[in-house]
Amino acid sequence: MPRKFHKMPELPDTIDDPKVQELLSHYFATSNHDSDHEGFADMFTVDGEYSMNDRRAKGRQEIINMRRGLFSHIPTRDHNPHQIYTHGSDQFQLITRGHVKYNHHMGHETDTEWAAYYDLKKDENGEPKFQKVHIIVDSNKQV
């Protein structure tokens, strides 16, 4: 069974939009679960991009497919973001660093640090969505 997301780190004062705060919280909670790939993809713009190291998915279906592939290799994971920073001129460009534990099919666990860049945009309804998420993680720890 997937592990539950623990809690959001304290956000900087520069992230003051409750909708951005809610999106981030939902993103990190969903990142640990393999049951809602469609809901995960819904957090992105229509042409949103999700990438991890050299893997890249663009658009809803590619994001769903990439997530399914990621969870087929590591069925449970426990992401813990430690710090979230604004980058650029507003709260729509963010950088995060954290720690993740992987529980593998064979029963062993690995863990590593990770960092990510998030570029958010408002959709046609004024809701914040991810335009781009790029995660940097030691892929050797995923084995």
Give residue 90's Cα distance to chain centre: 19
In the sheet that holds 55-58, the strands lie side by side as 55-58, 44-52, 128-137, 109-122, 93-103, 76-86
Q: Is 13 exposed, middle or buried (0-12, 13-18, 19+ CB in 10 A)?
A: exposed
pLDDT of residue 2: 38
pLDDT of residue 1: 34
Which residues of the chain are modeled with pLDDT < 70?
1-6, 141-143
